[in-house]
């Protein structure tokens, strides 16, 4: 009897986990799947939850801009129709995940969010509407900056990226304290979308360390000051 109860208990757990995973996979979609679902769905409400500045640098066709970080996100979201599906995306994923959760909390039933955001969308060469005509840095200009007798550390960052903000103080300190050891270049991903695509930078933060124009180390995500210094001084 006791053994049977244990078996039943684990079956319930497995069934529950399976359902949770299915629900997540149904509502959180990779860029290509998000695009397909978007094209197959009627009465779509497509919401870009980035800042207006990011939106102007390029967005999905027919998207409306409701900034997740703005104080009026909830108020503006009330204008959406709860009976119709909502598709949300941001630049790299975290904001759209938070916005999707909030919309579900507000009573929206069919909410889909794009994994990896516009960075993954662009990496997959999917179409977007360009509002700003600023091309950003070219690959040739980027390569020119790498020509240095000292190692070059390139930091791809964004103002909305929490790990980027956490790393910013020590990177600025290193640039000021050890210029003879490393040349640090910080590049805003939002303003250099084509360059990011060419260099396959599809998430943030990204550090790339060059020595003699060759990448000797790269890192995706938060990394400590100690580890960065260790790589530079190798």
Q: pLDDT confidence of 108, banded at 50, 70, 90?
A: very high
> What does the pLDDT read at residue 12?
38
> What does the pLDDT read at residue 191?
87
> What does the pLDDT read at residue 22?
36
**Selected catalytic residue, list 17, 90, 164, 196:** 164
**Selected catalytic residue, list 17, 90, 161, 196:** 161
Over residues 174-195, the pLDDT tens digits come to: 999 999 999 999 999 988 988 9
CA 174/CA 190 separation, integer angstroms: 24
Q: pLDDT confidence of 19, banded at 50, 70, 90?
A: very low
**Does the active-site annotation cover 164?**
yes
Cα–Cα distances in angstroms (integers) from residue 5 to residues 1, 15, 17, 19, in the given order? 6, 15, 18, 21
Over residues 123-165, the pLDDT tens digits come to: 999 999 987 556 689 999 999 999 999 999 999 999 889 999 9
Cβ atoms of 141 and 171 within 8 Å: the answer is no
Residue 116 has pLDDT above 90, yes or no: yes
CA 9/CA 14 separation, integer angstroms: 9
Q: What is the mean pLDDT of residues 3-28?
A: 45
Give the DSSP H/E element, type plus range, for residue 31: helix 31-40
> What does the pLDDT read at residue 8?
40
DSSP 113-181: EETTHHHHHHHTT---B---------HHHHHHHT--SS-EEEEEE-TT-HHHHHHHHHHHHHHHH-TTT
Q: What is the mean pLDDT of residues 66-87?
A: 95
Order of strands, edge to edge, in the sheet holding 183-188? 183-188, 152-157, 206-211, 214-220
Q: What is the mean pLDDT of residues 80-107?
A: 96
**Does the active-site annotation cover 161?**
yes
Mean pLDDT of the chain: 88
């Amino acid at each position: 009897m006791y053994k049977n109860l244990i078996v039943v208990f684990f079956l319930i757990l497995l069934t529950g986990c399976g359902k949770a995973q299915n629900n997540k996979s149904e509502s959180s979609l990779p860029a290509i799947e998000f695009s397909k679902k978007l094209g197959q769905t009627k009465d779509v409400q497509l919401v870009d939850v980035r800042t207006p500045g990011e939106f102007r640098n390029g967005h999905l066709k027919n998207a409306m801009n409701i900034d997740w970080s703005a104080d009026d996100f909830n108020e503006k979201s009330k204008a959406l129709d709860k009976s119709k599906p909502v598709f949300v995306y941001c630049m790299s994923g975290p904001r759209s995940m938070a916005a999707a959760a909030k919309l579900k909390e507000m009573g929206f039933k069919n909410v889909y969010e794009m994994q990896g955001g516009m960075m993954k969308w662009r990496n997959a060469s999917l179409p977007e509407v360009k509002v700003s005509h600023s091309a950003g840095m070219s690959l040739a200009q980027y390569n020119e900056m790498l020509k240095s007798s000292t190692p070059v550390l390139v930091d791809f960052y964004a103002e909305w990226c929490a790990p980027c903000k956490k790393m910013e103080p020590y990177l600025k300190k290193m640039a000021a304290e050890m210029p003879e050891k490393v040349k640090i270049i910080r590049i805003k991903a939002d303003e250099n979308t084509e360059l990011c695509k060419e260099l396959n930078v599809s998430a943030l933060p990204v550090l790339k360390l060059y020595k003699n124009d060759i990448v000797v180390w790269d890192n995706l995500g938060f990394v400590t000051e100690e580890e960065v210094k260790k790589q530079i001084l190798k």
